[in-house]
Structure 1
Amino acid sequence: MKKISYLIVSLSILSTTLSSAQNKKATAPKTFPAEVARPKLVVGLVVDQMRWDYLYRYYNRYTNGGFKRLVNEGFSVENTFIPYTPTYTACGHTCIYTGSIPAIHGIIGNDWYDPQSKKNVYCTEDSSVTTVGSTPSSEGNMSPKNMLTNTITDELRLATNFKGKVIGISLKDRGSILPAGHAANGAYWYQGSTGNWITSTFYMKEVPTWIADYNKLKLANKFYAKNWETLYPINTYVNSTKDENAYEGKNSTFPHLLAQNIDKNFDAIRSTPYGNTITLDLAKLAILSEDLGADNITDFLAVSCSSTDYVGHAYGPNSVEVEDTYLRLDKDIEEFFNYLDKKVGKGNYTVFLTADHGAAHVPGFMKENRLPSGVVSDREIANKLNAYLNDKFKANNVVLKSMNNQIIFDHDKTDNGNVSFDVIKAASIEFLKKLDGLANAVDIAKISQSTLPEIQKKMITNGYNARRSGDIYYILNPNWFNGSSTGTTHGNWNPYDSHIPLVFMGWGIKPGATNKTHYMTDISATLAALLHIQMPNGCVGEPITEITNK
C-alpha cells in the first residue's frame, strides 16, 4: 500500500511539474531580434479597374514572371472586397492606403458637392498650391488636403522619424497623391497637355533633375510612332469578343493608329497600354535616382497603373483591347520585378498588387448575350425628380443634382418651404423606386431603419460622410450604371465592381492563398503588422492573419 501511495504521489508531482512547464512555455514572451526586421522597400501596385477575375481569365497567356509569379510565389487573398459604395478611383486608392472608409477619410468620390462652398469639389484639388515641373495649369493645383486621415505611408514616415522615403507615381493625380499621403517626399502625375510628369508646391519648389530630364524625352512620341498593334495574332484572342463592336468606344478596330498624336496630343497615351509602360519606367527611375531600398531604413513606392482604367472605360471587359492591355501589362510587371530583383535584391522588398475597383460588362454586350443590363443618366434622374416635386409640391427645383448614386437637395429651399424636408424625401424615394433601372432608394440619414439587405446597408453607411454626402442613396439593378451606351464604368456595390485582386509577394510573405473573406481596409492593417508600425489613424481594417501569422 505504501508503494502504491508513493507512486500516486510521485505521478501527481510529475503531472503538476509538466503542467507548470507547459504553461510557462505557452505563456513565454515572444522573442525578437536585436533590431526589428523590415524589408528595404515596400511597393504598392494598384491596377486601376482590375477585376479580380483578370488574374485568371488571361492566366494561361501570362508570362512566368508577371502576374503568374505573383500568384505562384506570393500569397493571394482571393475574396477581397470593397466595403463601401460608391466604388470609385479616389475612394479606392484612399481606402487601400488609409485602411479607412469614406465615412471617416472623407474621400467619398472622385468629386462631390460641398454644401458649405456650394460648389463641386475634386478629390485632390487645392487652390493654395501651384504646378511644379511644367507650365502652370489647374492640372498641378493638387494636394492631399481633402483626405482627412493619414496613410500607411505617413505612418512609415513617422515610424522611421522621416528617414524612410515615400514616393507616389501615377498618370492620375489622385492615383499618386492619395496613396503617397500627407508627408510624402514626392508625388508625381502626368500632365496630358504637355506630356510632362509634374507635382505641386505642396511637395517641392522644383522637380528633381531625374524628373526634368525624363520630361525632355517626351516618350509618348516614341510609343505613338509604333501605333497600337495586338501583341499576338489577333485570332488568338479567344477570351474576347470580335474586334469591333458598336457598343465599344470610337476607333475600336486594331491597329489603333497613334502617329497623328506625335507632338500634338500627349494625353492620348493614357488610353493605350503604353501609359502603363511609361508609368513603370518612371517607377524604376525613381528607385534608381532616389536610392529607394538602398539601406536598411524601409522606403515605400506607391505606383498606380491607370491605363487599364482608360482602356476599360472605352472598350469594356470583354474587348480585345482590354485583353491586350493586360497581356502587355504582364510583361511590364515582369520587367519591373526583374529590376527590383537586381536593384533592391530578391527577398529584400515586399510588393502587393490590388485594384481600386472593378467594372461592369458593357450593356450592349450583355444584351447581345441575353443578359440583363442597362444605363441611367444622372441628369435625367435629377430632371425627372425635379419635375415630379415641382408638380406635387410646387417646389421650385429643390434637387440640385444627382451624383455618386445620391440625390443632393438645395437645403436653402427645402428648409424654408411650405412642405417639410422629410415629406419631400419620402415622396422622392417612392418616385425613384419607379424609375427604370433603379432597384431601391433610401434616406441615408435613416438607413438603419431601412429594409435593405445588410450588405447594401453596410456599404452605403461606410460610404456616407455627414459633411460631404447627399441626402438619398439610390441602388441600381445589377449591371445597370450611370453612363453612356458605349463602353463601361463602375461605382456600384455589386461584386463585379467590388471584388478586387490582392496578392502579397516577397519579404515576409510565404506562398499560399485564402478564400476567407477580407476587405480593402485590411491592406494597410496587414502592412502595419508586417512592418511593426502603427496603423493609419482612421484604419478600421484588421491584419490578414493568414499572412502575418508565421
Structure 2
Amino acid sequence: MKSFSHIFPVLLMLSLSSQAFSAPKDSKQLPRLVLGIHLDQLQEEYLQWFMDGFGEEGFKLLLKQGKVYDNCNYELSQPDAANTSASLLSGCPPMYHGIIAGEWFNREFERLLSCVYDKNYLGNYTTSTFSPLNLRSSTVGDELKKASNGRSKVFSLGLEPEAPILAGGRSADAAIWMDDQSGNWCSSTYYNYMPVWLQQVNDYGLFEAKAAESSWKPKFPLSRYVYMPHQKNPNFFNYALSVIDKAGYEDFKQTPMANTELNQLAIELIDREKLGQDEYPDLLMLHFNTGSQLSGNDSRAAFEMQDLYFRLDEDLAWLLKEIDRRIGLDNSLIYLCGSGTEKIDIEADEKAPGFYGNFYPERSAALLNLYLTAIYGSERWVQGCSETEIYLN
C-alpha cells in the first residue's frame, strides 16, 4: 500500500486588516508585502495543545483571523525542510523541481552533500558554497520578479541554508542564514547583493557576546506547561548557551533564542530594505525551527518543546505588530505553513509486544555490499547511504 506524508500540517492564508481583518474590498488591490512564515517540523496538534499558553496577538490571531487549509498534501515519502519548501514555492513535486531531500550522495566527492551545494560560488561570511541552481522549477519569487520587471524585492531568511535558498528561487535578491561555525548571518556570492547593514551586524559581534552570556530555561510559570501524551517523567531544563556553542552554533539553532534572532533580523530587514513601501509587492519568507533536538527530541523534551512554541508565539506577535506599524496589516498578505514532519523518538520497552528494534542504514548497506560481492565479485557495490536511500555503484 502506498502512503504519503502530509508535509503541510496547517496552512493559513491571511489578508489582514488592522481594523476588520478582512480582505481588501477592491479585488485588484495588490498587497504591498507578502510574508511567508515557514515552521520546520511544525506539529498541528501542538497548536491546539498549547493554545491556553499563547498570547492573543501571535498564533491565536493567525488561527482565528486566517483561513485554515489542513488538507494541503504533496506526495513526499520523506518530507524535510528542503523538499517541502521547494514543493510549496514551486507548486510541483520533486520529480519536476529536482529536490528529493535536504542532502544526497555526491558521486564526485563520494559522500553526502547538501542539495544546494555548488562549488562554483563562494560564501559571504561563511566557508560554505551554496546556490539554488539545483532547483529546476520556477518559484513564486521568480514569477514575482518577472511580473514586476525586477522591481519587487524577494528575500528569504532562515537558520539553515537549504530552506531559504530553495524558497527564494533563482531570482531572489538574497537568501540569508546562520553559519554553523561562526554564528554570523551569511549568504552566497550567487546573489549579487549582500546588504551593507548586515555586514555591520556581523562585524559588531554583539550576537556572539549575547549568546555566551545566555541560558535557556523555562520562561513562564510552571503551571503554563501542559502534560503531553508521550511525556514520561517531568524534567525541567536549564541549558547554558556558552556550553552549547563550544562546538559551533548547530545546537544553538535548536533553541528559541535562535528564532528570536531570526525574527529580529527580519524586522531589521523590513526597515533597512524598505519592504512594502511602494506599489510593487515585496516577498519575505522566514524559516523558523519548531523541533528542538537538545534532549533527543523525545519524551524528555516535552517542556523544551512547549517553551519553544511559547517563545515563538511572542516573536510572531512582535513581528506582526512591527509590520502593522511600518506597512499596515491591511496592506499585507501573510501565510503560515509547516515544512516537514517532526520525528519523536519515544523510548520503547523491548519486552513489550510489537517491539522490533532499531534499523541502522549503515549496517544494512554493509550487508548489501557483502551480498552483491558474493554474487558479482569483489567491488564497492554500495557507494553510500543516508537515512532513506542507498546509492549503488
TM-score with structure 2 setting the length: 0.84
Shift of 1:117: 7.6
Equivalent residue, structure 2, for 1:122: 114
- TM-superposed CA distance for 1:312, in Å, is 7.5
Aligned to 1:388: 371
8 Å Cα contact 2:164/2:287 also seen in 1 = yes
CA distance in 2, matches of 1:244, 1:89: 30
Contact 1:220 1:269 in 2 (8 A): no
User: Separation in 1 of the partners of 2:110 and 2:273?
Assistant: 42
* Shift in alpha-carbon separation, 1:334–1:242, aligned structure 2, 3 A: farther
The answer to whether the 8 A contact 1:86-1:404 is kept is no
Are the counterparts in 1 of residues 54 and 60 from structure 2 also a CA contact under 8 Å?
yes
The reply on whether 1:398 has 2:390 as its aligned counterpart is no
In the other structure, the counterpart of 1:54 is 46
Aligned-pair CA distance for 1:300: 0.1
Displacement of 1:405: 2.1
Note if contact 2:291-2:305 (Cα within 8 Å) is conserved in structure 1: no
Q: Across the two proteins, how many residue pairs are aligned to each other?
A: 365
Asked if the contact 2:103–2:114 (Cα under 8 Å) also holds between the matched residues in 1, the reply is yes
| Map of 2:260 onto structure 1 | 277
Cα separation, partners in 2 of 1:392 and 1:48, compared to 1, 3 Å: same
* Alignment check: 8 A CA contact 2:158 2:178 kept: yes
The residue aligned with 2:281 is 298
Following the alignment from structure 2 to structure 1, what is the Cα–Cα distance between the partners of residues 150 and 162?
23
- The 2-side partners of 1:380 and 1:284 are apart by 47
Residue 209 (structure 1) aligns with: 196
CA–CA distance in structure 2, aligned partners of residues 105 and 358 of structure 1: 20
Deviation at 1:391, TM superposition (A): 3.4
- Tell me the SS of whatever aligns to 1:274: helix
Distance (whole Å) between structure 2 residues aligned to residue 341 and residue 366 of structure 1: 51
For residues 386-418 of structure 1, what are the alpha-carbon distances to aligned partners after superposition, in whole Å with 9 as ceiling and x for unaligned? 2233335546442223335233221xxxxxxxx
For 2:76 and 2:302, the matched residues in 1 are separated by 28
Distance 1:381 1:261, change over 3 A: closer
Q: 2: CA distance between counterparts of 1:94 and 1:105?
A: 7
Change (3 A) 1:226 1:37: same
Partner of 1:80: 72
1-side partners of 2:353 and 2:35: how far apart? 42
Structure 2 counterpart of 1:142, which letter? Answer: F
Contact 2:32–2:281 under 8 Å retained in 1 = yes
Structure 2 residue runs of 5 or longer lacking an equivalent are 1-24
SS in 2 for 1:164: coil
Measure the CA separation in 2 of the matches of 1:330 and 1:281: 14
Alpha-carbon separation, structure 1, partners of 2:39 and 2:357? 26
Q: Which residue is 2:12 aligned to?
A: none
Q: Give the alignment partner of residue 155 of structure 1, picking from 137, 143, 153.
A: 143
Please, which of 139, 159, 173 is the counterpart of residue 161 of structure 2?
A: 173
94-103 vs 308-317, which moves further: 308-317
Distance 1:211 1:370 in 2: 56
Separation of aligned partners in 1, 2:210 and 2:192: 29
The whole-number CA distance in structure 2 between the counterparts of 1:366 and 1:184 is 49
State which of 159, 166, 173 in structure 2 corresponds to 1:185.
Answer: 173
**Cα gap change, 1:263 to 1:382, in 2 (>3 Å):** closer
Q: 2:106 and 2:144 mapped to 1: Cα distance?
A: 32
User: Is residue 105 of structure 1 aligned with residue 97 of structure 2?
Assistant: yes
Task: Indicate conservation of the 8 Å contact 1:49/1:312, yes or no.
Answer: no
- Secondary structure at the counterpart of residue 363 of structure 1: coil
Q: 1:204-244 CA deviation, whole Å, 9 max, x = no partner? A: 36x32221222224324324423111022345422342567
For residue 85 of structure 1, report the CA deviation from its aligned partner. 2.0
User: Is contact 1:315–1:321 with CA below 8 Å preserved after alignment?
Assistant: no
The residue aligned with 1:442 is: none
Aligned to 1:314: 296
Query: Is residue 42–residue 299 contact of structure 1 (8 Å, CA) maintained in 2?
Result: yes
What RMSD, in angstroms, separates the aligned Cα atoms of the two structures? 2.8
- 2:186 is the alignment partner of 1:198: yes
Q: Which amino acid aligns with 2:187?
A: T
3-state DSSP of counterpart to 1:294: coil
Q: 1:287 maps to which residue?
A: 270
Greater helix content: 1
- What secondary structure does 1:163 align onto? coil
Per-residue deviation at 1:267?
Answer: 4.3
Contact 1:52–1:358 under 8 Å retained in 2? no
Give the 5 Å matches for 1:151-550: 151-204=139-192, 207-215=194-202, 216-234=204-222, 236-240=224-228, 241=231, 254-260=237-243, 265-306=248-289, 308-311=290-293, 314-316=296-298, 319-364=302-347, 375-392=358-375, 394=377, 396-403=379-386, 405-410=388-393
Tell me how far 1:57 sits from its aligned partner.
2.0
What is the match of residue 90 of structure 1? Answer: 82
8 Å Cα contact 1:61/1:327 also seen in 2: yes
For 1:44, what is the secondary structure of its paired residue?
A: strand
Instruction: Please list every run of 5 or more consecutive structure 1 residues that lacks an aligned counterpart in the other structure.
Output: 1-32, 246-252, 411-550
Preserved CA contact (<8 Å) 1:40 1:295: yes
Change (3 A) 1:162 1:401: same
Alpha-carbon distance in 2 for matches of 1:89, 1:38? 29
Deviations 1:86-130 (A, max 9, x none): 212211111111111111111111111255886544211111111
SS at match of 2:163: helix
Find the aligned partners of 2:82 and 2:347 in 1 and give their Cα distance.
Answer: 27
* Aligned equivalents of 2:212, 2:364: Cα separation in 1: 40
8 Å contact from structure 1 (residues 363, 375) kept in 2 = no
2:216 is paired with a residue of what secondary structure? coil
Q: Is the 8 A contact 2:50 2:226 kept in 1?
A: no
Are the equivalent residues in 1 in contact too, given 2:158–2:177 (CA < 8 A)? yes
Whole-Å Cα distance in 1 between the matches of residues 356 and 56 of structure 2?
36
Q: Distance in 1 between matches of 2:144 and 2:317?
A: 27
Larger Rg: 1
The equivalent residue for 1:512 is none
Q: Could you give the per-residue CA deviations for residues 348-404 of structure 1, whole angstroms, max 9, x where no partner exists?
A: 101111121112321316879988675312101111222233335546442223335
d(CA) in 2 for partners of 1:45 and 1:107?
A: 21
Which amino acid in structure 2 is aligned with residue 284 of structure 1? I
- 2:72 partner SS: strand
> How many percent identity over aligned positions?
25
Counterpart for residue 61 of structure 2: 69
- The 1-side partners of 2:302 and 2:379 are apart by 45
In 2, are the aligned partners of 1:176 and 1:188 still within 8 Å (CA)? yes
